Amino acid sequence: MRTQVAIIGGGPSGLLLSQLLNRAGIETVVLERQTRSYVLGRIRAGVLERGCTDLLRRAGCGARMDNEGIIHDGTNLSTVNGMFRVDFKARVGETVMVYGQTEVTQDLYAAQDAIGATIVHEAQNVALHDLTTDAPYVTYEKDGRSHRLDCDYVAGCDGFHGISRQSIPADRRTEYERVYPFGWLGVLSRTAPAAEELIYANHPRGFALASMRNPQLSRYYLQVPLSDKVEDWTDQAFWDELRRRLPAKVAEGMETGPSIEKSIAPLRSFVTEPMRWGRLFLVGDAAHIVPPTGAKGLNLAASDVHYLFEALQAAFGGDAAALDGYSDRALRRIWGAMRFSWWMTSILHRFPGQDDFDQKIQEAELYQLETLESAQAAMARNYTGLPY
């Protein structure tokens, strides 16, 4: 088999890139290790920046999002001293869209089906070959048979645990990492959201987040020690702890119910540089991970896709040099989001060993955010998305 761009991974990065390339007349084959229902069963991101929503529209899959997504003009932050709001629209004239990654992925699959794109599910043992030549190829197994896919370029969209990043020789990449000493326990429940907008809560017992997917579906998170197991947390224990960490007024009125999904995610910041090796380009979580606090993971995947799509389009139009700028352009924006999600994480969580001085600094940061328009503007600009 032969294609122009072999795309490893059928998560949001791979599907969005495939959709944009196909619509531009560039052929792709997506190789995904899992089944479609497995990919759609993962509950992840919930907040989309305008750059991401614009790109989804450009890919021809924005209709349901524009119907069902909820625009948020701001967000709430809760501290021991009460709750305050940062108004994105008033500070920087921007908003975000609340629309789940599951829905985004579903829309991308539907759009890919509609144009007859090739997505191979349950592709096992994917391996990349001859990446530094002008004739790279990919091998994989499906239903016990071996296959070879020749291509012009490979897009590594296979997430943090994929094989693309590992296909770059270790002495040719530099990795930067920060592992945080806690995780997020997330619960999805068929209940009305606790508030109209998200609430990020700094509490002495640990961070909490009240988020949502739609008017009947809520998503909540609690900071938990890394040693905790999902089985340790009954629904009742989760709701009791969440009530303690949210403002009393919100907690009183909060609807609770059985959890539909419950999982623990570790928090990590990670970047590999450069994001290119010969004809291989890394995209999204394959190249970088952010802690979820700033809601940046999926949004960064979208900006990578935007840069790579533009560069590939130029390359197939005869300007192969356009690909040389991909890694630097993407990394410039990635480090902006790295800084922001690290900062959001550091001001909102309780760290083991946090002393009174650290505590006072955190309170001072949050007080500035509450009272200084300039601090709010910087937060609002970063949260709603740095420019592409």
d(CA 120, CA 107): 17
Secondary structure (DSSP) of 271-327: EEE-SEETTEEE-GGGTEE--GGG--HHHHHHHHHHHHHHHHHHHHTT-GGGGGGHH
- Please choose which of ligand PHB, ligand RFL, none residue 158 contacts, taking the beta carbon within 5 to 8 angstroms, the exact cut-off set by kind: ligand RFL
What's the DSSP call for residue 26?
A: -
- In a 13 Å sphere around the CA of 385, the CA atoms on its Cβ side amount to 22
For position 285 contacting ligand RFL by CB under 6 A, the verdict is yes
d(CA 388, CA 138): 31
Interacting residues with ligand PHB between 35 and 74 (CB under 6 A): 45-47
Only one of the segments 56-64, 233-241, 291-299, 334-342 lies at the binding site for ligand RFL (rule: CB under 6 A); that segment is 291-299
For position 267 contacting ligand PHB by CB under 6 A, the verdict is no
Q: Which lies closer to ligand PHB via its Cβ, residue 300 or residue 312?
A: 300
d(CA 263, CA 21): 34
d(CA 189, CA 291): 22
d(CA 265, CA 228): 11
Active site residues: 72, 200, 292, 296, 383
- Do the beta carbons of residue 64 and residue 107 sit within 8 Å? yes
For position 96 contacting ligand PHB by CB under 6 A, the verdict is no
Helix (H, G, I), strand (E, B) or coil at 51: helix
The neighbour count for residue 158, using CB atoms within 10 Å, is 27
d(CA 223, CA 208): 6
For position 47 contacting ligand RFL by CB under 6 A, the verdict is yes
Question: Which of 250, 267, 298, 337 lies at the binding interface for ligand RFL (CB under 6 A)?
Answer: 298
Only one of the segments 273-281, 289-297, 355-363, 364-372 lies at the binding site for ligand RFL (rule: CB under 6 A); that segment is 289-297
Question: Which of 293, 299, 345, 362 lies at the binding interface for ligand PHB (CB under 6 A)?
Answer: 293
Question: Which of 186, 206, 291, 385 lies at the binding interface for ligand RFL (CB under 6 A)?
Answer: 186
Question: Which of 297, 326, 329, 380 lies at the binding interface for ligand RFL (CB under 6 A)?
Answer: 297
For position 211 contacting ligand PHB by CB under 6 A, the verdict is yes
Q: How far is the CB of 150 from ligand PHB (least distance, A)?
A: 39
Where does this chain bind ligand RFL (CB under 6 A)?
8-14, 31-34, 39, 44-47, 101, 123, 126, 157-159, 161-163, 184, 186, 265, 284-285, 292, 295-299, 301
